[in-house]
Every structure is written in structure tokens, then in C-alpha cells.
Amino acid sequence: MFKSLKITCDEATTICDKNQYGEASFLELFKLNIHFISCKICALYTKQNIKLTKLYKGYASNCKSHKQCISEAEKEKMKKALEEMN
């Protein structure tokens, strides 16, 4: 039974990415959390992925009307915000 709950790191990152868009099933999320017990690297990947998504959504909300919307100053501001999150 437990063999069916075991996933590879590759599958874990795929589930993480699916979860980011609300497409992961309950069983996939359960498998992902089981995987986190033995793999701290995937847990860190998921944590960083969530942070980047939140950061991007905050800055990307007004980009639809601009062809190039992030200036160098804004990039630096984003870098500082990322560093503060860690």
C-alpha cells in the first residue's frame, strides 16, 4: 500500500507546479506531503515556488498594457523583497 504513495522528486515538482494553479488532486497533495518527510530539497523547492508566485502576482498585475513593464529599479526592488522573504 505504501509503495503507491511513494513518488519521485520529478513527480513531486510536477505536483507542486500543478498545485500552484489549483490543478492538483487531494491524493497528489497527500503524496507530495508524504514525499516532503524524506526530501527536504523538494520541500524547499515548493516553498520557494510559492514565494516567487506571490511576488510575481504582486508585480504583474499592471503589466498587461505594457510591452516591457519592469524597470531596473523595479527588478532591484523585487530582489530585495525576495531576500527579505528568505
- Contacts by residues 56-60 (CB-CB < 8 Å, ≥ 24 positions apart): none
pLDDT of residue 11: 94
Q: Which range is least confidently modeled, 10-14, 47-51, 69-73, 77-81?
A: 69-73
- How far does Cα 9 stand from its chain's mean position? 14
The pTM for the full model equals 0.63
CB 20 within 8 A of CB 46: no
How far apart CA 77 and CA 20 sit, in angstroms, is: 24
State the cell numbers at 29.
497533495
For residue 57, pLDDT beyond 80: no
Q: How far apart are CA 44 and CA 16, in angstroms?
A: 11
Q: Give which of 64, 49, 57 is closest to 78, Cα–Cα.
A: 57
